[in-house]
Amino acid sequence: MMALVDANNFYVSCERVFRPALEGHPVVVLSNNDGCAIARSEEAKALGIRMGHPWFQVRSLPGVVGLSANFVLYGDMSSRFMAICAGLGPSQEIYSIDECFVDLTGVGQVVERAAFFRQRIHSWLGLPCGIGLGSTKTLAKLANHVAKSAARKPGSYPAEFAHVCNLSSLPPSDFDAVLAATAVGEVWGVGRRLSAQLNQAGVFSALDLARMDTALVRSRWSVVLERTVRELGGQSCMALDDGVTARQQIACTRSFGVRVRELGPLQEAVSAFATRAAEKLRNQNGRAGQLMVFIQTSPHSREPQYANSAVVEMIPPSHSTIDLVGAALRGLSGIYRVGFNYAKAGVILMDLCSGPVQLEFGGETSEALMGTMDAINRRFGRGAIGVASALGEGQWKMKQELLTPHYTTRLSDIPVARA
DNA sequence: TCTGGGGTCCTAGGACCC
DNA sequence: TCTGGGGTCCTAGGACCC
């Protein structure tokens, strides 16, 4: 038995915990630079505001409140939420910032227990959530959709499914009725494209999909969709991922608040992205074998368009902010072109590996230096210490060469707070 | 004027090998 | 003129998720 716990309109709900006056108003939380809506209250959804809806098209709607995102707050609320959810069953997979799967193997009275935890999350954190129960992850997801819909849209599903829905306890006819009432596009793993293709083939509901021949699904679509079909039928094909596996990619990318033309500000931005990515990398105790840097103009503007990326090999694989910032700047210098209004840039670390890597020189020094940097930034806030990289490339290279071999104090002798 | 920022997995096809 | 039959690895692109 699997549970899916999902907080409602998570970012908006977090804001409302600290600003109860927002209750009942259409509220959206906005992306960086207040570009578009990334979370919406029920009232905002009722006004027709979509996910990713540009703020400038929304702001004039009556009574809409737009809030700049506060990701530090959401991250903190998420940790508390996950900690409570972890008590629901023996193992947990944190699937995203606002939802987790919990394996309920061996747990009794699952519906009562889920309702109790739902109440606990509400009274301890102030966050509303829905809990779906099913024999597979896909069914738990679907049950969660039912739990939320039954609460929000009376009549969509039987009212007793509101807030907590257990699909695995239903008689077959009731189970089929729920699947028949669910559009195929609501099924986890079926997006817009697949939904359209399935409709074309006469498959409209989750029940239609569940009844498809698996061999046909595999040959005409993919093994991914075949797994979904099997999971709808109660055959578990997706194991719980308890989070010990490290990420395979680390990305830091942003759209700029204003257009950027000059190399200098791009260098600063790219340095900041590489710095942040390096921190994430060290958090999972990894090293990157490749770094990709990209810059692009706005595809929405009619100005001359340019987008390019460069991949820089890290030999040997590194987790050093100094190496990664240097690589990002080298890549940037190769792709930067004069005369464009850049709207976005980013750094992606790839070819990640873990474990000790023999550095060419100063390995121990680099290790301790990065640990010290992370400790300082944890204590005094992100960006408290970093590398000075508004410099031109030539100067940068010189600085790097000067820096690394010239430490006279053994930094490894300085105690370092480890995460 | 103003349009997010992360991630995952799978497949097809080309390069290369024996 | 006639031109094998595998295998692996890598990459780009497409689909999906939140």
* A119-130 pLDDT, tens digit each: 999 999 999 999
A342-354 and A91-96 strand pairing:
unpaired
- Whether A266 and A336 have beta carbons less than 8 Å apart is answered as yes
A44, amino acid identity: A
Chain center to CA of A189? 16
CA end-to-end span of chain A: 34
- Whether A275 and A370 have beta carbons less than 8 Å apart is answered as no
Q: Which residue, A349, A352, A345, is CA-closest to A321?
A: A349
C9 C1' to A351 CA distance, Å? 15
- pLDDT category of residue A355 using cuts at 50, 70 and 90: low
Residue A376: per-residue pLDDT: 82
Mean pLDDT score of chain A: 88
Q: Is the CB of A302 under 7 A from strand C?
A: no
Q: Which residue, A123, A35, A17, is CA-closest to A74?
A: A17
Query: CA A144 to CA A188: how far, in whole Å?
Result: 11
pTM: 0.85
Query: CA A387 to CA A397: how far, in whole Å?
Result: 12
Element (H, E) at A408: none
Residue A411: per-residue pLDDT: 33
Over residues A376-393, mean pLDDT: 67
| Residues in CB range of A88: below 8 A, 6 or more apart | A3, A5, A102, A104, A107, A113, A114, A117
List pLDDT tens digits, range A180-237: 999 999 999 999 999 999 999 999 999 999 999 999 999 999 999 999 999 999 999 9
Angle between helices A263-283 and A321-335 (to 10 degrees): 140
**Residues having Cβ less than 7 A from any atom in strand B:** A 31-33, 35-36, 38, 51-52, 54, 56, 222-224, 247-255, 259, 280, 298, 300-301, 343-344, 346, 348
Label residue A313 left, alpha or beta by phi (over 0 means left) and psi (-120 to 50 means alpha): beta
- pLDDT category of residue A408 using cuts at 50, 70 and 90: very low
